[in-house]
Amino acid sequence: MPPPGALPLFAVLIAVAGTVSSPAEAAEQHVLIERFAKCVGPTGLRRELPPAAEYPARSASSQVIELSAPGIVADGYAHTLILDEAEGVAFIVQTGGIAGTRAVFGPLSVERGCADLPAEGDSPFTSATAVR
């Protein structure tokens, strides 16, 4: 008989293992994370991202990838990448902060990521105008 709590942990491990179906998919997600993770961090945006006009619709071609977590930053932000492979665009959803807000940024080019976007403060876009 497994020790108390072992079965739920086992179920969690199976669920996590099932989120990436192949080494090729894991490698693709790693590339996407590298491409977009430099845009964001636990304290918020690192690049000026265009605010989304609306929350992106999910479809059969959508993927959801965790970019960053708040870590040990009190009231920090978590960021999730919503990728629409059919359209070739991505959106970044920022959640957290003092009041637990949600802001959506995009669409962003899947190929370019945020490498060519200006550092925060160098653009006319502001996080205050994003969809909440």
- Please determine, for residue 15, whether its predicted confidence score (pLDDT) is greater than 80: no
pLDDT attached to residue 121: 59
Q: The pTM is what? A: 0.71
Structure tokens at 120: 């925060």
Amino acid in position 11? A
pLDDT per residue over 69-124, tens digit each? 988 888 899 999 999 888 889 999 999 988 889 999 999 999 988 877 888 754 44
- Please determine, for residue 28, whether its predicted confidence score (pLDDT) is greater than 90: no
Q: Across residues 11-23, what is the average pLDDT?
A: 46
pLDDT attached to residue 71: 83
Counts of helices then strands in the chain (DSSP H, E) = 2, 6
What does the domain layout of the chain look like in residue ranges? Answer: 6-129
Closest CA to 115 of 53, 34, 27: 34
Q: Across residues 10-31, what is the average pLDDT?
A: 58
What is the C-alpha separation between 31 and 15, in angstroms, rounded? 22
pLDDT attached to residue 116: 79
